[in-house]
Amino acid sequence: MKVPLKELPGHWSFNLDVDYVDSLVAELPMRAALGSDAGEAGSGTAELDFYKEGEMVFARGELSASVELACSRCLERLDYKFSESLTLTYLPEGQVPSEEEDEEGDEDQSSEVEDTYAYEGEEINLEPMLRERLLLAIPYAPLCKDDCLGLCTACGANLNDSECGCDRKVIDPRLAALKNIKV
Ligand SMILES: [Zn+2]
Ligand SMILES: [Zn+2]
């Protein structure tokens, strides 16, 4: 995932293969929750147009991916798809503004600084940026559907499939205390 400076301007497309996506998401709780039947992690693509102005390199394009995760309520597998546009600036290492400097600057610039990355030598390594963007795009608690009913807290049945009939009334601890008072 490297772009040689001497070949700019140009268009690059990268395939994020299953092994790469797997290495990124393996540690995520909602990936680990799939357990032994996790299957393939997913895949993605990045399409970017690059151009150069002096030492600054600009890139614009799109990152899309689909990742297999567990629903955070019912733990069923879901295919999380997303696509986001990228507008990036690459500066030689050592010239990227640090976060402290950013805080002193005016607020309008903060989002641009976020999209600024460093390159080293004669090529741009896109991997750190892609890793960061992918991980930011994946929700911490994905849902198979907005109104997922989740699992029964008593028997563990998937309530989206059927109502198991368990008594799941949670007794308010304050009421429970009242119950024990002998009248
Ligand atoms: Zn669900
Ligand atoms: Zn139940």
Sequence spans of domains, the chain:
2-148, 150-183
Distance 70 CA to ligand 2 centre (A): 20
Distance from Cα 151 to the centre of ligand 2, integer Å: 8
> What pLDDT shows up at residue 135?
94
Rounded (to 5) percent helix, strand, coil in the chain = 25, 35, 40
Q: DSSP string covering 83-139, please?
A: EEEEEEEEEETT-SPPHHHHHHS-GGGHHHHHTEEEEBTTEEE-HHHHHHHHHHHS-
- For residue 38, is pLDDT > 90? no
Average pLDDT, integer, range 31-60: 94
Please tell me the distance from the alpha carbon of residue 115 to that of residue 85, in angstroms, as a whole number. Answer: 11
Residue 96 backbone phi and psi in degrees, to 5: -75, 125
Given this model, what pLDDT does residue 112 score?
52
Q: How far apart are CA 172 and CA 149, in angstroms?
A: 21
149 CA → ligand 2 middle, Å: 12
Give me the percent of the chain exceeding a pLDDT of 70. Answer: 84
* Phi/psi of residue 147, nearest 5 degrees: -105, 35
State the ligand closest to the CA atom of 147: 1
Question: Is 169 exposed, middle or buried (CB count within 10 Å of its CB: 0-12, 13-18, 19+)?
Answer: exposed
Range 133-153 average pLDDT: 94
| Of 173 and 161, more confident | 161
Predicted confidence at residue 171, as pLDDT, reads 65
Cα within 13 Å of Cα(118), Cβ side: 9
Which pLDDT tens digit goes with each residue over 64-106?
A: 999 999 999 999 999 999 999 999 999 999 888 876 655 555 5
- Model pTM above 0.85: no
Residues 6+ apart with CB under 8 A from 105: 97, 113
**Nearest ligand by distance to the CA of 153:** 2
Distance 147 CA to ligand 2 centre (A): 18
Torsion sign over Cα 36, 38, 40, 43: negative
For residues 156-169, give the mean pLDDT. 92
Q: What percent of the chain has pLDDT over 90?
A: 74
Q: Is the dihedral of CA 128, 53, 49, 85 positive or negative?
A: positive
